[in-house]
């Protein structure tokens, strides 16, 4: 095991997969000479050259389309979005081409492409650069959607995504790039897509959370442990396909559930997870499923308003207390 940052783990995954498979290449804005907007591709241009680390103009639709075409003829592109908010400019390419090509060609074309970059709440990047974009993609058949929460997951899941024969949406987080953790040295270390993990064992309530919200949930669990409330935390890691069996197994154990997501709540990821728990685990529940979500508003620039928009430890604690009937007033 080596200790490294989240961005270093992503860089290592790219480097290892490019050494393993000459078909893998990286394309996007500032991935080469500038070493990546968040330095995820640092050093790769010098090591692999401009044919495999390809700088592009500011034209997301164009270079995403190039990546899809390359995947159709047998290459394995990794397309970097400087921020996933810019993927809005490539939605037609992603949704109408990458996601549907295998189906519409009767299986003649696989599209082994990874579209990766940071997304979600950051640090005062305001409304156009702070959106939780997973909800734009998990509804689309043909796409896999991944959100890694730790450095080890960043490496293991990115390697699995690159090796997958389907288009994978791989959304990271600006706020986690400097996070340090243990990462396996094994170049064949991969985490299968669709495999969640229990981050903390507990007996009283299941909290489903990922990315930055995972860390707020862990803080909430520590606080509530002092009160005698035992919180189990499940990180799905892959949102599509999702490890629903792991989530349901945890709910069968605790009989209560809270789902946390940074995005606005309406028709969000939390809605899907809550529906899954209610539809498939209703008889196991001792309380209604609670959702803790971002406020339904554009992300403000002001720091105090940004904090008000984003789910906090205090909101998660309050939701857990409600499902555990631990508010002292019977509600």
Pair of tokens at residue 155: 């490496």
Active site residue 60: yes
CA atoms within 13 A on the CB side of 122: 23
Query: Do the beta carbons of residue 113 and residue 67 sit within 8 Å?
Result: yes
For residue 256, give the nearest of 221, 218, 289 by alpha carbon.
Answer: 289
* One-character DSSP codes across 62-76: HHHHHHHHHHHTT-E
Per annotation, catalytic residue among 129, 174, 232, 290: 129
Q: How many CB atoms lie within 10 A of CB 236?
A: 25
Query: Do the beta carbons of residue 277 and residue 102 sit within 8 Å?
Result: no
Active site residue 129: yes
Per annotation, catalytic residue among 8, 16, 29, 60: 60
Pair of tokens at residue 221: 């669990």
Rounded to an integer, what distance in angstroms lies between the CA atom of residue 267 and that of residue 151? 29
Backbone angles phi, psi at 218, to 5 degrees: -65, -40
Q: Where are the alpha helices (DSSP H) in the chain?
A: 6-20, 44-48, 60-72, 91, 101-104, 134-137, 151-163, 212-225, 244-254, 269-281, 303-309, 313-323
Across the strands, what pairs with 39? none
Rounded to an integer, what distance in angstroms lies between the CA atom of residue 88 and that of residue 84? 8
**Which residues participate in catalysis according to the annotation?**
60, 129
């Amino acid at each position: 095991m080596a200790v490294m940052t989240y961005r270093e783990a992503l860089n290592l995954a790219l480097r290892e997969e490019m050494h393993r498979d000459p078909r893998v290449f990286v394309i996007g804005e500032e991935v080469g000479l500038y070493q990546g907007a968040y330095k995820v591709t640092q050093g790769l241009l010098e090591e692999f050259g401009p044919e495999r680390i390809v700088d592009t103009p500011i034209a997301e639709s164009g270079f995403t389309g190039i990546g899809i075409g390359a995947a159709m003829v047998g290459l394995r592109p990794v397309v970097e979005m400087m921020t996933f908010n810019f993927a809005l400019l490539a939605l037609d390419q992603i949704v109408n081409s990458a996601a549907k090509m295998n189906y519409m060609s009767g299986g003649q074309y696989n599209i082994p492409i990874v579209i990766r970059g940071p997304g979600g709440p950051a640090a005062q990047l305001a409304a156009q650069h702070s959106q939780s974009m997973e909800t734009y993609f998990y509804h689309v058949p043909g796409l896999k959607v991944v959100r890694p929460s730790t450095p080890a997951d960043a490496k293991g899941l990115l390697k699995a995504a690159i090796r997958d024969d389907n288009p994978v949406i791989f959304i990271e987080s600006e706020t986690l790039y400097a996070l340090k953790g243990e990462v396996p040295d094994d170049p064949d270390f991969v985490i299968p897509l669709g495999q969640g993990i229990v981050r903390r064992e507990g007996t009283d309530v299941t909290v489903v959370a990922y990315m930055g919200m995972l860390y707020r949930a862990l803080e909430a669990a520590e606080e509530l442990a002092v009160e005698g409330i035992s919180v189990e935390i499940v990180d799905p890691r892959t949102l599509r396909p999702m490890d629903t069996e792991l989530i349901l197994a945890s709910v069968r154990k605790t009989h209560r559930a809270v789902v946390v997501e940074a995005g606005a709540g309406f028709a969000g990821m939390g809605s899907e997870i809550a529906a899954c728990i209610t539809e498939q685990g209703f008889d196991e529940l001792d309380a209604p499923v609670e959702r803790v979500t971002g406020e339904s508003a554009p992300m403000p620039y002001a720091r105090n308003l940004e904090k008000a928009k984003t789910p906090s430890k205090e909101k998660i604690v309050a939701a857990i207390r409600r499902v555990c009937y631990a508010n002292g007033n019977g509600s």
